[in-house]
Amino acid sequence: MADSLPTEFDVIIIGTGLPESILAAACSRSGQRVLHVDSRSYYGGNWASFTFSGLLSWLKECEQDSEAGDRSAGAWQNLIQDTEEAIALRRKDDTIQHVEVFCYASEDTGDSAEEIDALQKNPSLVTSSTLTKPLDSACLSKETHSDSTSPEMPAKDTPQHDGEILPEVADREETQVKETDCGEKTCIHTVSDGAKDENKPVVEDNTGQPKRNRITYSQIVKEGRRFNIDLVSKLLYSQGSLIDLLIKSNVSRYAEFKNVTRILAFREGKVEQVPCSRADVFNSKELTMVEKRMLMKFLTFCLDYEQHPGEYQDFTQRPFSEYLKTQKLTPNLQHFILHSIAMTEPSCLTVDGLKATKHFLQCLGRYGNTPFLFPLYGQGEIPQCFCRMCAVFGGIYCLRHRVQCLVVDKESGRCEAVIDHFGQRIRAKYFIVEDSYLSEDTCAGVQYEQISRAVLITDQSVLKADSDQQISMLTVPPAEPGARAVRVAELCSSTMTCMKDTYLVHLTCSSASTAREDLEPVVQKLFTPYAETEIDEGDPPKPRLLWALYFNMRDSSGVSRSSYHGLPSNVYVCSGPDCGLGNEHAVKLAETLFQQIFPGEDFCPPPPNPEDIIFDGDDKQPEAPGTNTLIVAKLESSEGSQNLDSPGQHLQN
């Protein structure tokens, strides 16, 4: 049980986000005794992935967190001795703000009365005039995570969370959501054309238009377990630090990946495919022969631009966009390079733009025709993979386990222990805390950035192709100078993140306002709300928007340690997700902190071969009975080698 945890560890880690999970794996692999706890009921923190019903549960928890005060004072204060002082940790998570949900898909009136009743308790089916029971738990999965201190991790075949509501949360009195003034609360909106649907028509047949499947909200709910919706949208560079770490540590055996199949560009109101490889360039129908030669010449230069500093030395302090104008590139090519290959802002310096272009080109061809990979079942798989590695080497995990405070010795100024919500004092040498757990007093001098996020469910791709199983990366340039580009990742059903005949679309940019204000203009350019779908003979129909979620997420990646007030020297802080496309910041942060704590130790070395493990007091390799450590290692190894014929692939050097 959770209240019988060991009382002493080498490292206590609070939060299960990606940097914390990498650190947990590294510490456990180096022989440290690790306790990894999280007050949430799921792994990953703001790096998590949810099924559709799990996402609705998460939304309700966000709403309740925003309404609950920070009542951190408790009986634990009586456990602090005269020679000690306490640093209270935050009880509520306020990293998510300005949450707004829109449902554009119609309700299927052919469902049974029981199904309709359950669906009406979902937030997106509540009419705007009667917003009662916004996120009722009646429609959510009945499965729950149990409190556990076992090193056993979630099974591979159920990698994601249903976002289960805890019993204490489900029993709380429901609160009404206001639609007019969102602030930090969850806003629920239903968009309807007012007309009732016919009984379960499978396909809409519009004259002059190809047939399109009609997806209803009830279908989305019924197929909710097929969705794995990431809170943060990331891709893995095939030559990036996270891929290298996954391979080096052999953690890659716990996950499977798919190639991002195409890079897209948005120019003059249209979506186009960007040629990446040499073959793509010469097969492209979008470029003239002269443009193909121009592009290949420039990309060849970018691969070894450091060897030719004279070519760009006059532009080292000038924007990359200005440098491109001097390279005899057409406006079309300049747009492709700036927004879809370098993927930088127009104000980016020339050297940074050349570096980004080179990195893009170096990543081509390692695993596919584009530089990027995406993990099956979503980004939330990656933290869990590192947690599995930590557990295999003896790390102890406990979800829904709240740490009330850090206990600091007044004389030495070092943190000696933590006190959990059971009142148990647990000692350790080092403490790693995710930023969202630090109190307002500790973070009083911190200035945070914000990330604007949108998650959409649509009925077709933004750019049709011969295959409907496309994974696409699109950058929409800023509409006006000074604005931010919007990154769009479109995922198909073969990524195991959405149901068949739908696409899951993630939009991300750094915040200038609320997420809806930042991202809705781009959504309107690319998609048509279901209720407003009209027949237009001139242009091909846009994808129909079925469901949308907007929210702002805190970006603590740029915060330095000196910004926090009163942290003991043996307490280290991990940041939440950053706004970048890759995971380089999280990996670099984890490795930097590990080297600070354990200088000279190897960071996440490969695990030993189970056959090479030697047990004390035994000259021979033990048999399976009684060799728990060996059994776990073998099981994990076999688990990672399964499904080699599946749509995904394991990483190899």
**What pLDDT digit, counting tens, does each position of 581-631 carry?**
999 999 999 999 999 999 999 999 987 776 666 655 555 444 444 333 332
Q: For CA atoms 273, 276, 279, 285, give the dihedral sign.
A: positive
Question: Can you tell me which residue has the tokens 């170096």?
Answer: 362
For residues 449 and 436, give the distance between their C-alpha atoms in angstroms, rounded to a whole number: 13
Pairing of strands 544-555, 528-529: parallel
pLDDT for 76? 74
Q: Is the pLDDT of residue 133 over 90?
A: no
Q: Is the pLDDT of residue 2 over 90?
A: no
DSSP SS3 for 480? coil
pLDDT mean over 499-512 = 96
For residues 248 and 135, give the distance between their C-alpha atoms in angstroms, rounded to a whole number: 43
More confident residue, 100 or 139: 100
Taking CA atoms, 368 is separated from 189, 234, 469, in Å, by 41, 18, 15
Radius of gyration of the chain (CA): 26
Q: Which of 14-23, 130-139, 384-393, 414-423 has the lowest mean pLDDT?
A: 130-139
pLDDT mean over 38-56 = 96
- Superfamily per CATH, domain 8-66+74-93+377-446+557-597: FAD/NAD(P)-binding domain (3.50.50.60)
The three-point CA angle 601-237-13 to 5° equals 40
With bands split at pLDDT 50, 70 and 90, how would you rate the model's confidence at 144? very low
For residues 520 and 218, give the distance between their C-alpha atoms in angstroms, rounded to a whole number: 25
Taking CA atoms, 32 is separated from 15, 396, 441, 595, in Å, by 18, 11, 31, 14
Q: What is the dihedral of CA 519, 522, 526, 527, to 10 degrees?
A: 40
For residues 28 and 634, give the distance between their C-alpha atoms in angstroms, rounded to a whole number: 18
Yes or no: say if 577 and 7 are a contact pair by the CB < 8 Å rule: no
More confident residue, 517 or 130: 517
Share of the chain residues as helix, strand and coil, in percent rounded to the nearest 5: 30, 20, 50
- The share of the chain scoring above pLDDT 90, in percent, equals 57
Domains of the chain: which residue ranges? 8-66+74-93+377-446+557-597, 274-374
Q: What is the dihedral of CA 43, 45, 50, 53, to 10 degrees?
A: 100
pLDDT for 189? 64
pLDDT mean over 287-303 = 90
pTM over 0.95: no
Yes or no: say if 390 and 21 are a contact pair by the CB < 8 Å rule: yes
pLDDT for 68? 52
The H-assigned helical ranges of 430-583 are 515-526
With bands split at pLDDT 50, 70 and 90, how would you rate the model's confidence at 180? very low
- The share of the chain scoring above pLDDT 70, in percent, equals 74
Q: Which of 38-47, 167-176, 464-473, 516-525 has the lowest mean pLDDT?
A: 167-176
Yes or no: say if 464 and 212 are a contact pair by the CB < 8 Å rule: no
For residues 128 and 344, give the distance between their C-alpha atoms in angstroms, rounded to a whole number: 40
pLDDT for 621? 47
pLDDT, one tens digit per residue, over 381-393 is 999 999 999 999 9
pLDDT for 30? 95
- Mutual angle of helices 18-29 and 241-249, in 10-degree steps: 30
Yes or no: say if 324 and 316 are a contact pair by the CB < 8 Å rule: no
* Tokens read off for 12: 């206590």
For residues 585 and 578, give the distance between their C-alpha atoms in angstroms, rounded to a whole number: 8
Q: For CA atoms 68, 69, 70, 76, give the dihedral sign.
A: negative
- Superfamily per CATH, domain 274-374: Guanine Nucleotide Dissociation Inhibitor, domain 1 (1.10.405.10)
pLDDT mean over 534-545 = 69
- At position 428, the amino acid (one-letter code) is A
pLDDT for 637? 35
Q: Is the pLDDT of residue 67 over 60?
A: no
With bands split at pLDDT 50, 70 and 90, how would you rate the model's confidence at 4? confident
pLDDT mean over 227-237 = 97
With bands split at pLDDT 50, 70 and 90, how would you rate the model's confidence at 236? very high
pLDDT mean over 220-249 = 96
Q: H-helix or E-strand containing 11?
A: strand 11-14
With bands split at pLDDT 50, 70 and 90, how would you rate the model's confidence at 633? very low
pLDDT for 256? 95
Q: What is the mean pLDDT of the chain?
A: 80
> Mind giving me the DSSP string for 601-614?
--SSPPPPPGGG--
Taking CA atoms, 202 is separated from 110, 111, 216, 651, in Å, by 12, 14, 10, 39
With bands split at pLDDT 50, 70 and 90, how would you rate the model's confidence at 278? confident
